[in-house]
Amino acid sequence: MNIPSISSIHSFRLYHLYAAAGSAAFFGFIFGFESGIITNASFYMQHDEAMQPINQTFLYILMIIAPGSAAIASLLAAPISDHFGRKKAIISAIVCDTIGALLCSLSLNKQMLIVGRIIIGFALGFGSSVVPVYISEISSPHCRGFLLTSFQMFITFGLASANIVAGISSHVECIYAKWRLMLSFTTLPTLIQFFVFLFMPESPRWLCANDQQDEGIRVTQWLHRNDEKLQQEEIDRLNIYIGYKERLKEMLGGGWRVMHLTRDMHALQQILLGCMLQIFQQLSAINAIIHHSSAIIRSARVKEVKSIIWLSCVILVINFLSTIIPMLIIERFGRRKVLLTSVAGVIFALICMGFSFGYVSRDSVITQPLNATLEDVIPDFIPYFKHCAQLENCNLCTKDEHCGFCMPNNFPTYGYCLPIDQKASVIESKSLIGPCSFVNNSMRYDWMDDYCATGYAILLLVPLVTFIVFFACGYAPSSWIINAEIYPMWARSICVSIAAFCNCSFLHLRSSYNGCIRVLLHFLIRNKRHKFGGFRKNGQT
């Protein structure tokens, strides 16, 4: 097999092609940034009177509303991009995100913020469905994997940038402006992408499919203008597609492509493969693991929000840098080898992570009761006091939705399992009774309601970073690359949209499953407070 060299893939002779593909792939930055910034922004919303009251239900809705609307938009992307063109669909996604970001940053109330996130979700759904199709249709086979991987690279760059922007914004003195600055940041890059992409061409294959063959050939010549041999090869492929288009019309017989798709067994097998790749990518728990990195940082007794945000940046920067590796090897070693190697590494890291968490949980700080005087008086009128006091260690205590662990700073060998104050804000959680019932008592006591302090944080960080590196090296980009390549041309946009729907639908499912159950319980039992695994006071997405 003739494997192209790295130098030929990165040849600057195709700078027109790289400019068009890169300007489209930059939407991945928007996708990653919008997915990551909302959790950081929620830290500071509690100080804005317009957003009051802040509770767990509102935070959960705020997190899932964008992926939900993105899932719906991804299904609409195929017919819209088929009718109006790939370029117009991408531009509409850019405009939607700009409008949504402005609405969020200028929100006068919670309803306006939710509407802004819905619009952003529609933008993300459109972009994640159309951008891979556009890149696959304009690129040559020898560099298609490289260019499609750049979309995932921009996603990880966006995730890392979200934490960096949050870290910078956390130093702004005006606390009311912090979260608004975070949510407004994408307006500048989206405006730049909008004006750049206006000068980029439409997909030549879409042009040929819509009876604009001459324009399609002209665009192909422009994309490969400095490589005559490659230019002729692409024109030959385009002519083959033009001939195929006529047979396609006869095959479809004027009917809907979706209906023909349901009768094509081979295409159904391909779409099953593509959807399962996207689903298993999310079910590998990447979002939950990235979120848990902040909990591990806190378990090392790092308490300041600014420090946690900046330390979390390191994890996300590693994620970004690891995505560059498949860009360099995907064309040389092929999709299958890169994907299988990545999956094997992910499985190994998950097994190591499981053993590490098991070992650390066995070393959990033990629980001691409060003094005898309080024990005799409190249980009659303090809810869950007896229940929490029966839990033997920090690990069991913080797993219970009604309890938290209060531990002295100077003697981290014991602590008190105490009921959580239901009236405390989500961000400033504290106990209902005891030394951790005062927020300003943090100099003497540590209050933990979703993690436990440990001296073995490094045992958790090593397999976590290993997982992220292996995931970014193949699992993450392969789902986009394979989905953009395996489908027949007549069904590509539809199938990629369905696969993107699966990706958006499962985006936060793994990391927020417990939160979903507890939100349902919240509506059934109004006077209960429920903790959410994915949305704690210092959590990351």
In this structure, the answer to whether residues 312 and 378 fall within a common structural domain is no
- Whether residue 462 is predicted with pLDDT greater than 80 in this model: the reply is yes
Nearest by Cα to 274 from 484, 489, 129, 126: 484
Q: Which of 84-98, 236-250, 410-424, 524-538 has the lowest mean pLDDT?
A: 524-538
Residue 302: helix, strand or coil by DSSP? coil
Residue 458 placed within a domain: no
Claim to verify: residue 123 and residue 153 sit in the same structural domain: yes
Q: Quick one: 263 and 300 in the same domain?
A: yes
- Are both 248 and 279 inside the same structural domain? no
| Token duo for residue 261 | 């798709």
For the ranges 164-173, 322-331, 336-345, 398-407, the lowest mean pLDDT is seen at: 164-173
Q: For residues 331 and 13, give the distance between their C-alpha atoms in angstroms, rounded to a whole number.
A: 18
User: Same structural domain for residues 180 and 288?
Assistant: yes
Residue 72, judged by CB atoms within 10 A of its CB (0-12, 13-18, 19+), counts as middle
Percent of the chain with pLDDT strictly greater than 70 = 83
If you ran DSSP here, which 8-state letter would residue 474 be given? Answer: I
56 and 142 within one domain: yes
Domain that holds residue 228: 206-252
* 296 found inside a domain: yes
Question: Which of these three, 400, 433, 452, is where a domain ends?
Answer: 452
Could you identify the residue written with the tokens 């002779």? 13
Q: What is the CATH number of the domain that holds 185?
A: 1.20.1250.20
Whole-number pLDDT of residue 305? 66
Helix spans in 369-526 (H): 372-377, 385-389, 394-399, 457-470, 476-485, 492-505, 513-524
- The pair of three-digit structure tokens given for residue 118, joined into one six-digit string: 């819905």
Closest CA to 449 of 418, 413, 414, 425: 418
The pLDDT, as a whole number, for residue 217 is 87
Which of the two residues, 21 and 251, has the higher pLDDT score? 21
467 is a domain residue:
no
Residue 510: the pLDDT is 52
Res 252: pLDDT: 63
133 closest CA partner among 100, 86, 101: 86
How far is the C-alpha of 79 from the C-alpha of 68, rounded, in Å? 19
- Judgement on whether residues 240 and 260 belong to the same structural domain of the protein: no
Measure the CA–CA gap between 443 and 316, rounded to whole angstroms: 30
Lowest mean pLDDT among 368-372, 484-488, 492-496: 368-372
Among 431, 452, 473, where does a domain finish?
452
Report if residue 87 sits inside a domain.
yes
304 vs 401, which has greater pLDDT? 401
Q: Any idea of the CA torsion for 76, 82, 88, 89, to the nearest 10 degrees?
A: 20
**Percentage of residues in the chain having pLDDT higher than 90:** 27
- Both 185 and 225 in a single domain? no
Q: What average pLDDT does the segment 221-240 reach?
A: 81
Q: Are residues 183 and 171 in the same domain?
A: yes
Residue at 533 is within a domain: no
**Span 267-271, mean pLDDT?**
88
Examine the domain organization and report whether 296 and 164 are in the same domain: yes
Return the DSSP state at 131: H
Six token digits for residue 503: 């990706």
pLDDT at 1: 42
- φ/ψ of residue 204, rounded to 5: -60, -35
- The mean per-residue pLDDT over the stretch 61-87 comes to 89
What is the number of domains present in the chain? 3
The answer to whether residue 335 is domain-embedded is no
Q: What is the pLDDT of residue 317?
A: 92
Of 218, 252, 286, which closes a domain? Answer: 252
310 shares its domain with 436: no
Strand partners, 420: 431
Distance, CA of 515 to CA of 384 (rounded, Å): 21
Q: Do the beta carbons of residue 157 and residue 103 sit within 8 Å?
A: no
Residue 450 near residue 295, CB atoms below 8 Å: yes
Task: Assess whether 63 and 142 both reside in one domain.
Answer: yes
pLDDT level of residue 281 (50, 70, 90 thresholds) = confident
Report if residue 464 sits inside a domain.
Answer: no
357 within some domain = no
